[in-house]
Amino acid sequence: MHLSEKYLSQAAAAQNQKHYRQAIDCYDKAEQSGCQTHHLYFHRGACHYNLKHNTLAIHDLEKALQLNPEDAETANLLGNAFYNNNEFDEAIERYSRALYYNDKNYTSLHWRLLARLQLKDEEGKIINKAAAQHDADMLTPVAHQFYQLTSKEGKPLEIVAFEIGDDGTLNFKVKEKLTA
């Protein structure tokens, strides 16, 4: 077994146990032994992301995306790191890339919508309401994956539409779910 493979194996084991700092150390050793793969940069970036080291996560995930430009999972995680860094334009770009390579990636669509809602002008109005509304409309058929709403009586409600407010609020249009 090559030395870098040994370190990658140790890193994966540590990462699976959520020992992210230990995993990062092993990924660093694998890189120092000559490994420069998408796998290494993606997983080390994911460890940094889980530790809320967003700038380091962005650095590694950008490298991973350069090595595998069509990987929707990498683009989505990179979008999350930018989102957590309040870099919403960059987040939208990465979520859009993830959606380009996997148009059924509703998690990316959901987070792109949330990022769009953060971009406001000096008056507090959402900058691109039409794009946000488009994302919301595309998300409506799968909204139950992200939002579980109930009536005051505790009955489940179905989201039939979203409406984006000028200030970036996300309003739900609902109806009571019919039960069989």
In tens digits, the chain (180 residues) has pLDDT values of: 588 899 999 999 999 999 999 999 999 999 999 999 999 999 999 999 999 999 999 999 999 999 999 999 999 999 999 999 999 999 999 999 999 999 999 999 999 999 999 999 999 999 999 999 999 999 999 998 999 998 898 888 999 999 999 999 999 999 887 665
State if pTM tops 0.85: yes
* Per-residue pLDDT at 1: 55
* Cα separation, 76 vs 67, whole angstroms: 15
Q: Is 83 exposed, middle or buried (0-12, 13-18, 19+ CB in 10 A)?
A: buried
| Residue that is written with structure tokens 């939208």 in the block | 92
* Per-residue pLDDT at 47: 98
* Per-residue pLDDT at 177: 74
Sequence-distant (≥ 6) Cβ neighbours of residue 4 within 8 angstroms: 30, 33, 34, 35
Q: Where are the domains of the chain?
A: 1-119, 125-180
CATH number of 1-119: 1.25.40.10
Q: 123: helix, coil or strand? A: coil
User: Can you say whether residue 30 is alpha, beta or left, with left for phi > 0 and alpha for psi between -120 and 50 degrees?
Assistant: alpha
Max CA-CA distance within the chain?
A: 62
* Per-residue pLDDT at 110: 96
* Per-residue pLDDT at 23: 98
* Per-residue pLDDT at 180: 57
Helix residue ranges per DSSP H, 70-105: 72-84, 88-101
* Per-residue pLDDT at 126: 95
